[in-house]
Amino acid sequence: MEKRKQRFYIIVVSIVIISVALILIFKAYEKSIVFFYTPTKMIEARIEFNTKIRLGGLVEEGSVKKEISDKPKIHFNITDLSNSIPTVFTGIPPNLFREGQGVVAEGHLSVKNIFIAEKIFAKHDENYMPAEVANAIQDSGYWKNQYGTD
């Protein structure tokens, strides 16, 4: 009976240690995981304020406004051609950033429902668009060859 209890306690302690280790691993990765959304999916998901995400789509035509000061700021809209999200980026954008082009911005949603971009990733050539953005545009029914390949 003694060996049986001893084995039982070893199994229970092992399960507890493994469970605690898994919880700690998942907590550590939770801070580094960043989910991707299009404007429509972001609105549907009702993202909480200050949750770090990646927002992707097209830079809406006519929406880019530059604010020159100590720290240059750019105001623009990211659209998936169904919905648009007003976005603000402080800093110098990539050279390939312009209206009508694909963009992925990493940041968070402010209390005023403005996306605060901390990083901007622009396309690297005229044929590239992140797959998620291209799929969202195809799903919305607005796909045109100028946004990528068929």
Residue 141 has pLDDT above 80, yes or no: no
Claim to verify: residue 116 and residue 101 sit in the same structural domain: yes
What gap in Å lies between CA 105 and CA 116, rounded to an integer? 9
* pLDDT tens per residue, range 62-74: 999 998 888 889 9
Query: Model confidence at 128, in pLDDT bands (50, 70, 90)?
Result: low
CB of 20 closer than 8 Å to CB of 77: no
147 pLDDT higher than 50: no
Looking at the structure, do residues 134 and 111 belong to the same domain, yes or no?
A: yes
Number of domains the chain contains: 2
Q: Look at residue 17 and give its three-state secondary structure.
A: helix
- Whole-model pTM? 0.66
Range of the domain at 62: 35-147
By CB atoms closer than 10 A (0-12, 13-18, 19+), residue 55 is buried
What's the CA gap between 57 and 38, in Å, rounded? Answer: 6
Both 17 and 40 in one domain: the answer is no
- Looking at the fold, whether 80 and 8 belong to one and the same domain comes out as no
